[in-house]
Amino acid sequence: MFPFFLENVALHKFAWQQHPLINNDFSASLAVDGRKSDLSQKGGQCVASQFSETAELGVDLKDVHSIHHIVIQYVQEKPVWGISIFFVN
């Protein structure tokens, strides 16, 4: 799709979420672990928050980066990509 290599600058960085669930099974670290083979609700690869009107997820990238796009994948039973957010300079 892209003629150049895109580095995942969030991979294995510190991540946090606004309303984490009480148990640690759906912690923010799952958003940056690179796994995306099982995005089902019980797959162990998705972040989940307690019910709230807002949900916020943050990642400390440790440096200033030029971001080309962000991909957000949501819980699903089929291996389909989620939302892509592209930035144009």
pLDDT digits (tens, 9 = 90+) for 39-70: 887 888 888 888 888 889 999 999 998 888 88
pLDDT reported for residue 68:
82
pLDDT band at 86 (very low <50, low <70, confident <90, very high): low
pLDDT digits (tens, 9 = 90+) for 3-46: 567 788 999 999 999 988 877 788 899 999 998 888 887 888 88
Neighbour-count burial for 11-49, b at 16+ CB within 10 Å, e otherwise: eeeebebeeeeeeeebbbebbbeeeeeebeeeeebbbbb
Q: Are 50 and 19 in contact (CB under 8 A)?
A: yes
pLDDT reported for residue 64:
94
